[in-house]
Each structure stands twice: as C-alpha cells, then as structure tokens.
Amino acid sequence: MNKKLKNLFNFTSIMIGFLGFNLSLEAKKNKVESLYKNYCLTCHGKNLEGGLGTALLNLKWLDPRMNDTFTSIVQKGNIENGMPAFDSVIEKEEIRALLVYVQEKSTYSKLDSEKPLSSDASGIYSTQHHDFKFELLHTLEEGIFWSLHFLPQGEILLTQKEGNLFLYRNGFMSKPIRGPKIRYGGQGGLLEAAAHPEYRENGWIYLSYADSLDNNRTSMTSIVRGKILNHRWVEEEMIFQAPKRFHTSQKKHYGSRIVFKENYLYFSVGDRGDASGAQDLKKPNGKIHRIHLDGSIPSDNPFIGLKNAYPTVWAYGVRNPQGLVKHPDLNEIWEVEHGPRGGDELNLIKKGTNYGWPEITYGINYNGTPITSETKREGMEQPIYYWVPSIAMCGIDFYTGKSFKKWKNHLFIGALKARQLERIQLDRGKIIEHEVIFKDKGRIRDVASGPDGNLYFVMDSLDGNSGASVLCRLVPVK
C-alpha cells in the first residue's frame, strides 16, 4: 500500500473509532451533500474528480447492476486502495443517497461533454431515425396549457390549468371555455381532458381536476364528464369524487391522467403528499383506479373483497403519476411518475400490483436526505426504467401516425425539469432504444400523436419566458 494512503487510512480508522456513535447520529441528520463533504471529499475531490482516491465520475455507476457493488465498497472499504470501512458510521440508506449523488454528478458530467441538441441553420433537427422541424402553433400569453387531446373530427382539446378549456383547429384557437369549479394553486387546477370512446355519438368529455369540498381549504383529484355545446361546458356529471376525509390542504401530487380501455376508465391519483398513504388500500391516493364509464364500480376490481379497501383501486404504490397511456396494439397500460430526486419511473401497470412507493425507491428526498436503502422487496414491482437525475416527466403518448414511419408505436415522454422530449422503443416490456429528440425550448407538459402524422406537444417557459405556454408540433422533413 502507498505509504501516504496507508497513513491516511490508519488516521481515518482511528478517528472513526474515536467518534463512533456520535458521528453516526450526526450523519443521520445530514443531507447527501454534507455526507459527501464529511466522508468522501478529502479523497475523491470536491467535484468527484479524484485525488488521494479514485475519481467517481465514472459511468459504470449509472449501471443498475453496480448498485450493490457501490454499497459493498462503502460498507466494507477497500484496504488495498486505502479506503476504510464506513459501515459503522454511515447508515445503509445514507449510502443509497450517496450513490444517487454520484450518479447525478456522473450524468451531468456526461451531458456537459456531449454536443448540445439543436437544429441546423435551416431549422432541421436530426435524430437517430428521422429529421424534423419545430413549428410553433399558438402562444398562450398567460396561464399554463396542461394537456392536449385530439377529438375525432381533428380538433385539439386543450386544458388550461387555471380552469379553462380551448379548442384549436386549422390555426384558430377558440376563446376560453370555463370548465368545472376547481381549486387552483400549487400543482392543482384543471388537469387532464379525454373524449369518450364513442364521442361522435354522445359528445362526452372527461376531465380530471383539483376538487374542493370546503371552499378551497382542502382538495382531492376528481373526475367529471360533460359536453361542450355552443361554446359552453354543460351537462356536467360527477364520475369520481373521494369523500372529504381524504381531501388534504396539500397542493401537490394530483396525478390526474385518464385512459380508456375496453369500456373502462382508468385514471391516476398521486399520493397528495401522503407517501405512506400510497401503500394503504383504504385510501384513494397513490393509486391507479378503474371504473365504468358512468362512474360505477366494476365487480371484478382486484380489492373488492378486501375489507375497507377503496373499491376503485386497480394498482397502488405510486407517487405522482403524470403520464398514463394505453399501448395501441398490445392493450397494455403504461405509466410514468414523478419520483423523488433520482427516482422517476416508467411502469407497466398490471391488475392488483404494488409498485412500492415509498417502501422501495431508487431516489432520495429532494432536500438530499435519504428515504430508504431498499430498491427491491418481495411482492413489489420493479420499474421498467428509472431516471437519475430525475427529469420530472409529465404527459406521454405512443406514436401511431404514418409520417415518422420508424417511430411507429414508440413511446414519447415529455419532461419539465429536463425541458426535453424523449423517445423510447419497447419490445416485450424492455427498452431497446432510448433517445432525447428535442431539448431546451421549454418545460414539456403533454405530448400527443396527431391524426395528420405530426407529433404535438404543449410546453411552458418557452425559451425561458415564464409567461408563455405554447402549442407546437414536430413536422417530418422529407
């Protein structure tokens, strides 16, 4: 062993033994940045660039198969390289937090070294399979477009978070149509819109929103349906409304996407800031729900026979599911959710399945403190993929058009924090291609495959302008 490293190792071991219990207690209070500073910085460098110890900006740590290896090295040490064991002073969940920190830094370092994703002088973006141009269709000077949905006749139905609906067609945006009474604030407001599968015949439109039963003191996700006639929202019917005891003053994690499948309505409800509630089958929060299109409850829902279980629950253990979509060919339901820091997920939703939040997660709290050391547990489903760092994904859709032929049935995911649009090709539940195709124009909230073959999305903070929300599309270059 190098003499300098050996002396450092001996000194560190003595200090660890001397401080012992007190250090362990203090570490429990620390954020991950403090953990790294206290235990890792001296050897591995301020920016993980290395020094007395090895550099940690190594892409191998991004491989999920290395998770256990990292934990083992930190716990047991590496005497040959002069690294002491830290199992007596750093808790296992704190080691998990340190791994997230290392993965974040490694990813950002990789992104900094890559060529920025941008168009050429003629405005053409080049990706793995297709070239396209970006077209801005409409700017909403105030407020936020939250979702877009194509109606059968080609109109785009858009929701504005502040409570309005809009109809867009052939370059013309309608005047605002006032929707149901909502609780606006934080992440709450008017959220998803989706047309009934037989919309041409019945005209029903379903909306999810932040609903209050006590003059906006508390709220919960609700689903209504109604119709747009003579530019007015009319014939409103409540489809899902949780009892007041489940409403909360929290203004976050509403979830709120809608999917139709085999004449059932599936919708997501976030944990509403009550993480443990996602595991409690008596509560509606942190769940994927399934009901009939008129709001009645199917008799074959998975927890119908369980005492006190909320009867509409289809799957549970989700955090803030802001993307939900049905595969166009396979009849599967796919979900993406805002995880904690380093724990955004892509999940295949299955009947009666527990997706683990918050008992298992690949992330940590946003303030840098650990949540748990567990990423796997018997009886809890693993994500198909997870993102470190978190990208804050939002709306998703499968591409079903003909203009981008090589994108058929690929999944597109919008991201808020990362300000990007991702493309994922799936095969038998596994990712075989993954690409960022558009980036840094704005925070992408929802994406939809258009009947004209173009790919549409809404985003806010266009080019850094926080006062503008826009409707736009990607058009192929022949």
Q: Catalytic site residue 196?
A: no
Contact 165, 198 (CB under 8 A): no
β-pair type (393-398, 156-160): unpaired
CA–CA separation, 326 and 328 (whole Å): 6
Q: At CA 68, angle to CA 64 and CA 69, rounded to 5?
A: 100
Q: Are 183 and 219 in contact (CB under 8 A)?
A: yes
Of 253, 289, 338, 410, the catalytic one is 253
386, 103 in Cβ contact below 8 A? no
Nearest-angstrom CA–CA distance, 159 and 149: 9
Task: Decide the pairing of beta strands 156-160 and 465-476.
Answer: unpaired
How far is Cα 113 from Cα 223, in angstroms, rounded to an integer? 45
Structure tokens at 170: 């052939």
How far is it, in rounded angstroms, from Cα 225 to Cα 296?
13
Active site residues: 253
